[in-house]
Structure 1
């Protein structure tokens, strides 16, 4: 097992094999994401990876957890809605999530063995819920510079909730964002009023007004939680800088996204709406 100072948490109930996804990450890096600048790092970046952990399991039994790699406790106390970004050496890890205060991993709530972390990757691991069961969802993050005057927004539906619609300034701008899905676009920097609806009704906690997006910033927004314990909003941001050209059409931020002219508005503002709403409850990384 590779040595590391800090490492991410896996997060499904029971044992989960995320190696197929991580192999996909490695292919993406080899295909050019690394050259686009997946993350800002020191000279040893070629042997490291960046992993952000989002704790999105609202179940009381998983409210406060510790994260281990083998027998080493890496994160002593990770609370619901916390975000932790880690730089880790590339390697393969056995990860465990235990209740806070555990002295070993024998009573682990979550086990993920043989997790491969490829060099150069920038990924987010979201511990969320699907049908009331803890689940692990992994995303690749693009940190390519935005066009001049633009912000990149990626909406990630990781709540135990139905498909949602997004309203911007009172009008439906994006519909049918499904659980587990993500959408990305570059949008003009600015301030917006947004609301998120399910079945025509506002989702409690997912509305906000006067929300600003800054040029040269990549926003990754996550809806987490469930109907019984409430929904919450978590935002991860990455400063990526800007290019020099204002595009005629706006490319999406990652491989799962779609391209759209800004004038079409549907995807761009839809992605923006979730991101903007999430920024109301910005969750900063715990040290």
Structure 2
């Protein structure tokens, strides 16, 4: 599924207002036409070039019912399409996302090829072992097919490449931890990571933050009812303080829990580990400090 990053400032930007005026439409309608345009480009103009398309094609992409030349002039004059018929700043806007999508396709293709190769080896071994000896009846083709299907169903789904023997470099070695971290974001927030956040997540993984830390940050964010900005704040704070492993994260949480409990009792002594702030009447999570540095 293709998606694009959408900034809240788009509706207030002078370029968007100029585009709306040139088309003679409302600002919400102009924003809608632009999003339809960019969504279409994700699939049909991935390099940002519109040179092979007619003005009518672009109008169809934008869901514009008016004159197609009027639309193209508006896109040019507003600065959304450059004079060489390329989408303005497209490589910066969606280039990394498209590159990552192509990398994921290639990774899945290699994984399927490896799985098929292993399955062929298993089928060959299975045929050698189950070949009837003298006096036994050769099973029918239907029986062999049924047995093979049953056998395959019990095998694990090998969707992750063998990184130790794949001959890859640093990027492949980061694939698995990055994939786990990415899955945690989608699992707990139900959204795809935009290009800016994608780069941020990649950098955190490069720094050595474990996927388990990313997941715990997501769990904590959901527990206190915050949005994804709180989640990024936790991770940024962890990276700044050198909290990169699950063990360090858990230790820091326990220490903070003790501090909050002691503070709520008004006395630093007599702290019972594990007593959280919520139990002592506090409304905010004892880990809220983690996100403060990263709030926008």
TM-score by length of 2: 0.20
Q: Which has the larger radius of gyration?
A: 2
Between structures 1 and 2, the one with greater helix share:
2
Higher relative contact order at CA 8 Å, sep ≥6: structure 1 or structure 2? 1
TM-score by length of 1: 0.20
